[in-house]
Amino acid sequence: MAALKRLHYGWVVVVAGMLTVFASIGFGRFALGMLLPSMGVSLSLTYAEMGLISTGNLVGYLVAVYGVRFLVRRIGARWTVTGGLVLVGASMIVVGRAIGFADSLVLYTLTGLGSGIANVPVMGLVSLWFARQQRGKAAGLMVIGNGLAIAAAGLLVPAVSAALGAEGWRTSWLILALAVLAVALVCGLILRNHPAELNLVPVGTAPAAVTQGAGKAALDQHAPLDSRKTRLLLAHLGTIYALFGGSYVIYATFIVTSLVADHGYTEMTAGTFWVWIGALSVFSGPVFGSLSDRIGRRAGLAVVFSFQATSYALAAAAGSPAALWLSVVLFGVVAWSTPSIMAAAVGDYMGAAHAADAFGTVTVIFGIGQIIGPALAGVAADHFGGFAASFGLASVLAMAALCLALLLRPPLAATPAAC
């Protein structure tokens, strides 16, 4: 009990962030990959239409990213996140009642809108609640939610389909939606916008920064967001993030469909691959986020993109189960590392005062990559009769991200933080 009283409320915010990512991204976006095979058959969808449904979700996310900063300024991150989760859950309920491509596209676009409204502000809270040396760890813990959600969907969806048959995917959407709404309730109760609301300072703040105001001095040394130097840096970070977005979403959207359609696996067996991706990815965020705290954001990103480029290349050329399993392992181990490293990097380069707006900006660019990726991959799969070319494209994008990451310069020195 005494330990709980000593626990900084920043870690409660991390738990709320983990739940938000679990619901808004893990269920609101990545569950689609598990549901597409049976949903596609039931609604007679082509691969291109499947890709466009995923793209619609990401268009909604991009719209949210552009406008969510105004919501946060008006009502605060707490209620913005809660409202976004309510929209995700409500729209997913209706997606489960879709009768064709057009309504699936429109409704799942609304799901993406809610995902962005919830996810961007909660990731921005990392820079407010944690000092620089703790941000990678905190953001990494939040993105654990992705892996947990993928593993849960990989277990749930095949079981529901086995019990209810061809239309079981509709019930799966309903179950996932109710879970999202439950998370919305929890986040509304426990999220807080800023340490000052509870008379606290960020986790890891050095005593000198608290007593002498050094923390503010560290913030003031960063250039304003409208300076030319800052715009170029945001474009650099955003392009890296966009290449990640365009590549990973191809794999996450289509790997299960590829396992079923290209390799002849059953939905249950493909679900096993999906569960392993989720299980392996659970600690990808905290492990590589913390690693980037030690070796730097540039080196951390380079390691992650080398793993991903290899994973996608193996999926493109896979001629054996061993190659597919290695692809899954490499993807899972680093799956959600980039968002946690990028959230920390934005805080490092821009300072805590500008972190939320800056993260919103790079996420807009990231969203463009996510929109283009699945649309191109779906068209390519229809044209070539399989997903090898699509995964090859993902590998090329990841290699380009690796090269750009290596060109990043170290951020300005920051005020040391206590461990």
For residue 412, what pLDDT band results from cuts at 50, 70 and 90? low
For residue 211, what pLDDT band results from cuts at 50, 70 and 90? very low
The reply to whether 220 falls in a domain is: no
Note the pLDDT tens digit of each residue in 345-394. Answer: 888 888 766 776 787 788 888 889 988 999 999 999 999 999 999 999 99
Is residue 77 predicted with pLDDT exceeding 90?
Answer: yes
Is residue 330 predicted with pLDDT exceeding 90?
Answer: yes
The reply to whether 213 falls in a domain is: no
The reply to whether 4 falls in a domain is: no
CATH number reported for the structural domain that contains residue 402 in this entry: 1.20.1250.20
Question: With the C-alpha atoms ordered 93, 20, 156, 377, is the resulting torsion angle positive or negative?
Answer: positive
For residue 360, what pLDDT is reported?
76
The reply to whether 417 falls in a domain is: no
Structural domain total, the chain: 1
Q: Which of 390, 283, 301 is nearest to 341 (CA)?
A: 301
pTM recorded for the entire structure: 0.79
The reply to whether 222 falls in a domain is: no
Query: What's the rounded mean pLDDT across residues 192-201?
Result: 89
Query: What's the rounded mean pLDDT across residues 120-133?
Result: 86
Note the pLDDT tens digit of each residue in 217-251. Answer: 334 445 555 577 888 889 999 999 999 999 999 99
CB of 123 within 8 A of CB of 339?
yes
Distances (CA, A) of 184 to 115, 180, 300, 311, 362: 12, 6, 32, 34, 25
Return the number of other C-beta atoms located less than 10 Å from residue 399's C-beta. 18
The reply to whether 301 falls in a domain is: yes
Q: At what angle do helices 228-261 and 297-317 cross, to 10 degrees?
A: 30
Is residue 117 predicted with pLDDT exceeding 90?
Answer: yes
Give residue for tokens 């915010």.
13
Q: Which of 128, 144, 182 is nearest to 8 (CA)?
A: 128
For residue 220, what pLDDT is reported?
42
Query: What's the rounded mean pLDDT across residues 86-100?
Result: 97
| Longest distance between any two alpha carbons in the chain, whole Å | 65
In this predicted structure, which of 93-102, 104-113, 198-207, 264-273 has the lowest mean pLDDT? Answer: 198-207
The reply to whether 276 falls in a domain is: yes
Percent of the chain scoring above 70 in pLDDT:
91
**Domain extent for 175:** 12-193+227-406
The reply to whether 28 falls in a domain is: yes
Q: At what angle do helices 284-295 and 297-317 cross, to 10 degrees?
A: 140
Mean pLDDT, the chain, rounded, equals: 88
